Amino acid sequence: MAELVLSAFLGVLFEKLASAALKSIALNKGVDAEIKKWQRSLNQIQGVLADASHKEITSPPVKRWLNDLQHLAYDIDDILDGWVTEAMQSESTHKSEGITNKESVKTKHPQLHYEAKLYMLLQGGTGVPHLKWIGVEGEYNAMVIDLLGPSLEDLFNYCNRKFTLKTVLMLADQMRFSSRDIKPDNFLMGLGRKANQVYIIDYGLAKKYRDAQTHKHIPYRENKNLTGTARYASVNTHLGVEQSRRDDLESLGYVLMYFLRGSLPWQGLKAGTHYKNRAPLAATAVAGIDRFCRRY
């Protein structure tokens, strides 16, 4: 079993090492020689691994050796991920000292002031950016929050659209928020000492799931149009059911599988925001999710 896991992981590492993004980073950091040395070492490991598998070697010393090789591959992956994150962060930090969102003061459905109230309400919570300023600037409502690093979608693209199981599990441990718009673009990494902290932004569509006075759960409703991003929406959302915490958890599951597999079975299907038009998406999700998640 260990050799199968290691063999699959080596394939992911080879893809990363061959990516144009990593070659550019290696050139800027002056570590081309180190990258080539790792490629040679991994090629040797792959050759020995194939030989051990062919000969069906199962002795305890060989198993321990395979385990050591697996840890070595993980260490290389951690270093590569660190370089990618560092490159993405340096690209972000020279631009400004905060992230600015704005909307026209004439917009019919303003959201920034509502979103700012949520930032203030959640201030100090883990993974919540600090609200720096909210107000009017010329013809725009504007809001400034802490400058953050790359989004998980950015990092995903840098890594050839494939995260390792280890990376996905580490992200899953932090991504615990309810917002009604769970998607990779709304999760950003921190900067500096908080570079490993995942933050969630864009609370414009967030909604309380309990009544402020009675503390009762919001009533069950149907015939609701889409709120959020169709690709990661829950089956109930596509069927027109009012969204709640369970739907965010289901959406988060789809995001994590997207990171593991590189895509979702229903990507590319056309659907409007009206719930009656989204039945094909719901049917595809129900029919294919067990098969899609098999072996994970």
What CATH number corresponds to the domain at position 246?
1.10.510.10
Domain co-membership, 71 together with 114: no
Tell me whether residue 141 is in a domain.
Answer: yes
Within 8 A by CB and 6+ apart from 219, the residues are 242
Dump pLDDT digits (tens) for 93-137.
444 566 788 889 888 888 899 899 988 888 888 888 999 999 888
Tell me whether residue 140 is in a domain.
Answer: yes
Tell me whether residue 7 is in a domain.
Answer: yes
Domain co-membership, 74 together with 179: no
CATH number at residue 106: 3.30.200.20
Domain co-membership, 89 together with 109: no
Domain co-membership, 12 together with 124: no
Domain co-membership, 129 together with 63: no
Tell me whether residue 152 is in a domain.
Answer: no
Report the pLDDT value the prediction gives residue 274, as an integer from 0 to 100. 60
DSSP 143: E
Domain co-membership, 175 together with 289: yes
Tell how many helices (H) and how many strands (E) occur in the chain: 10, 5
Domain boundary among 74, 93, 112: 93
Tell me whether residue 61 is in a domain.
Answer: yes
**Which residues are annotated as catalytic?**
181
Domain boundaries, position 252 = 161-293
Domain boundary among 52, 67, 93: 93
Domain total for the chain?
A: 3
Cα dihedral sign for 242, 281, 245, 196?
Answer: negative
Domain co-membership, 81 together with 17: yes
Percent of the chain residues topping a pLDDT of 70? 67
Dump pLDDT digits (tens) for 210-251.
877 888 888 888 888 888 888 898 888 888 888 888 888 889
Report the pLDDT value the prediction gives residue 95, as an integer from 0 to 100. 45
Tell me whether residue 137 is in a domain.
Answer: yes
Kindly report the CA angle at 253 between 11 and 197, in degrees rounded to 5?
Answer: 75
Domain co-membership, 104 together with 221: no
Model pTM? 0.62
Domain co-membership, 53 together with 169: no
The count of residues in the chain is 296
Report the pLDDT value the prediction gives residue 145, as an integer from 0 to 100. 92
Tell me whether residue 57 is in a domain.
Answer: yes
Predicted confidence (pLDDT) at residue 171 exceeds the cutoff of 60: yes
Answer with the residue of higher pLDDT: 8 or 158: 158
Domain co-membership, 124 together with 53: no
26-40, 130-144, 153-167: range with highest mean pLDDT: 130-144
Domain co-membership, 178 together with 267: yes
Cα gap 59→195, rounded to integer Å: 41
- Of 78, 64, 77, whose CA–CA distance to 2 is shortest? 64
Domain co-membership, 274 together with 187: yes
Residue 98, CB-side half-sphere exposure with 13 Å CA sphere: 14
Within 8 A by CB and 6+ apart from 181, the residues are 202, 204, 205, 206, 227, 228, 229
